[in-house]
Amino acid sequence: MNAKRELPPKESGIFKNILKNYETRQYKKGLKLADTILKKFPEHGETLAMKGLFVNNLGKKEEGYDYVKKGLRYDLTSHICWHVYGLLHRADKNYEEAAKCYTHALKYNKNDIHILRDFALLQTQMRHYDALIETRTQLLQQKPTNPPFWIGLAVAYQLAGKPDTAAEVLKAHEDSLKDMPSNYEHSELLMYHNTLIEETGDYAAALKHLDAVEAKVTDSRGVQEKRALYLSKLGKQAEAEAEYRKLISENPHDRGYTKSLLALRNLDEESKRAEAYAFLTELAAEYPRSKAIEDLVLTYATGEAFTTRAAAVIQHALRKGVPSIFINLKKHYTDAEKKAAIEKLVLGYRESLEKDGTFGSGNKEIPTVLLWTYYFIAQHYDYVGDQETALKYIDRAIEHTPTVVELYMTKGRIYKHKGDLQRAAAIVNDARELDLQDRFINSKCAKYMLRAGDIERAEQLMGLFTRKEVAPVQDLIDMQCQWFITEEAFAYLKKKDYGRALKKFHTIEKFYVDIFDDQFDFHTYCLRKMTLRSYVDMLRFEDHLRQHPYYMRAAQGAVEAYTALADKLKAVAAEEAAMSEVERQKARAKARKAAQKEAERREQEAQAAKKNNKDPKKPVDQDPYGTKYAQTTTPLEDALQFVKPLQSLAPNNPTTHRLGFEIYVRQSQWLLALRCLVKLRQLDADTTELVARFKKDVAAAGTLDPVVQKAIDAQLANF
């Protein structure tokens, strides 16, 4: 034992209070107590470490690290010093270093429950599930009466792909909880246990368990859904159908229930369209208000039956003035016959309404029916690519009623599809001015402004609905408003302002880092509150977070910007190589002057930003124009930061491999570029242009290693 670690009884009592102050977050009080010990024992490592922890939590990060490192130097075998060092790294999201610190701490005190608990949270965050099982087992052995430790071990086994063992752990825990009251937490625990049995694939056992616990479960809808699923998996069609019909009767608007019922009756196959239509027609008659069932009826209807059904749906929507009716029906345009039927219907309605105010027969319709008919026809022609005819009909609608916001928005969309982005933005702005209180229209207008290249105006519009004490863009970043930051990034990219574009793309990337980091607090919360099914779903969702379309778009934009910078650097290098020594020195001197000028400008910008900063606690952006991104000397390596997550998380998306190809072919990583082409071919993507580029670049590279050349020739023979 370290002799310097031992404190006299008085100071030892003070140190215990220091630990309590940290647990109760009384950092200033704890700091004062630490100073009283350090006056007498300035080399007491554990007190120095705790002081560093308090200082760090009070906002002085560097000073906090200094104290903790000093404490470690004085007492390298203290589990408290190593634990505190791990806590600092964890707070900085440096999980790998934190894990090393916890490992050292456990080396000197392998049974400390606080270190084990923190280590378990870290292992969950890092997805080290096998190690997590060991840590959770140790925690349970230390304190078998603590319910979260039992549940934590069960979750660890499930995450490691061992739901059968997880179910056994949970059963052992439930057996020790005799006469447990039927409350929400216990209900969730029972349903989580049932989910574990389901994951083993033993649906008979899952159904038996569900029947046994049903009386204690408060989630009655969840029980019904699971029972219907298990019965269908076990081939008990009549019983499963009864359950699904019960679910539909309670919520006929849930499309999933109806589709599950179709699948149960084997009516979801293409060859059974007629039977499916007959069945859905009966169901629609039973639940006439269900739009979900109505939509499925249209999906399975064909020929005259589709025309009759579509006519009823369209007429009802036009009478009610439902602007979204075309959006609901356009999915049927993949079928040429259905598209033609819808077109014939609405053009016929337009003719009849203009002639005698009816749909062809019956009573006269109110004047607004003609307005929404024009609106539908305009959307129809825009969707099929006939923008001129679409404009003709949307102008008729505006002439009919010039105060409807949706008409101008659709007109703007038509001009956007025509490629006239400036006019599209102007028209959508007209729509915005008709209703200045509508945040959605304001946001749409800002998006159109960005597409038209008017970034400053777009930011001003967004500022109408953001906090006044913060700059509009900063408030949108704080709210993680991905659509605006992504659109703004592409607007800068279009202007070839690569620095600002990359700054925005990296902001999107940081959103995903922050979302992943934000899980940490849930690792303890969910075990305590028993929201276990949602917790496991969240962890699995987070594992594939970067498959999200917004991240994919940001990755595409970032790679485009970085490859443009790489091409620029290559061109400059080639230009320099062709110069004489005197010309080269002149060019370098000119570049140095430009860099110095840029540095001065950046300093002025930073000072201005600091002066205008209204929140002194918030750090000032030292690089508002993304200059450091634009001046990178390793653009291709930087671009790979965006692509590597996609290679593991989205390997079946062609975009992943196209982006990889663009980088690897510029790095002359021929085999890696070839692998991207092979993946694209396996995904049935068009590789004609990329293969031609690859062959040309390989030929220009000269003589390659014979092994590499052989591999290239063998694979290219398959294209």
Residue bearing the bigger pLDDT, 638 or 177: 638
Architecture of domain 496-602+623-635 in this structure: Alpha Horseshoe (1.25)
Residue 125 has pLDDT above 70, yes or no: yes
Of 422, 543, 546, the C-alpha closest to 482 is 546
Instruction: Return the SS3 of 219.
Output: coil
For residue range 292-340, list pLDDT tens digits in order. 999 999 999 999 999 999 999 999 999 999 999 999 999 999 999 999 9
- Interatomic CA distance for residues 567 and 229, integer angstroms: 55
Question: Which one-letter amino acid corresponds to residue 635?
Answer: P
Residue 614 has pLDDT above 60, yes or no: no
Q: Given the structure tokens 């456990």, which residue do they identify?
A: 106
pLDDT at site 550:
96
Phi, psi of 517 (to 5 degrees): -65, -30
How deeply is 220 buried, as exposed, middle or buried, from its count of CB atoms within 10 A (0-12, 13-18, 19+)?
Answer: exposed
Q: How would residue 578 be classed by pLDDT, with cut points 50, 70 and 90?
A: confident
Two structure tokens written together for 208: 């038996």
Superfamily of domain 9-181: Tetratricopeptide repeat domain (1.25.40.10)
pLDDT at site 611:
62
**Are the C-beta atoms of 664 and 676 separated by less than 8 Å?**
yes
Of 382, 452, 323, 384, the C-alpha closest to 394 is 382
- Interatomic CA distance for residues 84 and 90, integer angstroms: 10
Of 426, 320, 431, 432, the C-alpha closest to 376 is 320
- CA 222-228-230 angle, to 5 degrees, is 100
What are the CA-CA distances from residue 326 to residues 304, 317, 372, 424, 591 (Å)?
20, 10, 10, 21, 57
Residue 576 has pLDDT above 90, yes or no: no
Two structure tokens written together for 641: 């930061």
pLDDT at site 582:
78
What are the CA-CA distances from residue 283 to residues 258, 278, 279, 294, 693 (Å)?
9, 9, 6, 9, 56
Q: How would residue 616 be classed by pLDDT, with cut points 50, 70 and 90?
A: low
Two structure tokens written together for 24: 């109760």
Give the CB-side neighbour count of residue 303, counting CA atoms within 13 A: 4
Residues in the chain, overall count: 719
Q: Given the structure tokens 């009573």, which residue do they identify?
A: 363
What are the CA-CA distances from residue 483 to residues 80, 488, 489, 550 (Å)?
45, 9, 10, 8
**Are the C-beta atoms of 30 and 106 separated by less than 8 Å?**
no
- For range 592-610, the mean pLDDT: 69
**Are the C-beta atoms of 329 and 356 separated by less than 8 Å?**
no
Q: How would residue 193 be classed by pLDDT, with cut points 50, 70 and 90?
A: very high
pLDDT at site 102:
95
What are the CA-CA distances from residue 660 to residues 489, 617, 653, 664, 678 (Å)?
21, 40, 12, 6, 12
- Interatomic CA distance for residues 493 and 25, integer angstroms: 46
Q: Note the pTM of the prediction, 2 decimals.
A: 0.89
**Are the C-beta atoms of 503 and 629 separated by less than 8 Å?**
yes
Q: How would residue 623 be classed by pLDDT, with cut points 50, 70 and 90?
A: confident
Two structure tokens written together for 321: 């003035």
For residue range 662-677, list pLDDT tens digits in order. 999 999 999 999 999 9
Q: How would residue 606 be classed by pLDDT, with cut points 50, 70 and 90?
A: low
- Interatomic CA distance for residues 214 and 196, integer angstroms: 16
What are the CA-CA distances from residue 632 to residues 498, 506, 626, 668 (Å)?
11, 14, 10, 19
Two structure tokens written together for 693: 């580029």
Query: Where in the chain are the domains?
Result: 9-181, 182-250, 496-602+623-635, 651-718
For residue range 333-345, list pLDDT tens digits in order. 999 999 999 999 9
Residue 3 has pLDDT above 70, yes or no: no
For residue range 129-138, list pLDDT tens digits in order. 999 999 999 9
Two structure tokens written together for 684: 């049935």
Of 482, 466, 662, the C-alpha closest to 562 is 662
Q: Given the structure tokens 């979260």, which residue do they identify?
A: 148
pLDDT at site 113:
93
Two structure tokens written together for 606: 């930073």
- Interatomic CA distance for residues 277 and 291, integer angstroms: 15
Question: Which one-letter amino acid corresponds to residue 64?
Answer: G
- Interatomic CA distance for residues 165 and 705, integer angstroms: 51
pLDDT at site 573:
82
- Interatomic CA distance for residues 251 and 693, integer angstroms: 55
Helix axes 549-577, 498-517, angle to 10 degrees: 140
Of 684, 481, 663, the C-alpha closest to 558 is 663
Residue 177 has pLDDT above 90, yes or no: no
Q: How would residue 505 be classed by pLDDT, with cut points 50, 70 and 90?
A: very high
Residue environment code for 458-481, b if the CB has 16+ CB neighbours within 10 A, otherwise e: bbebbbeebeeebbbbebbbeeeb
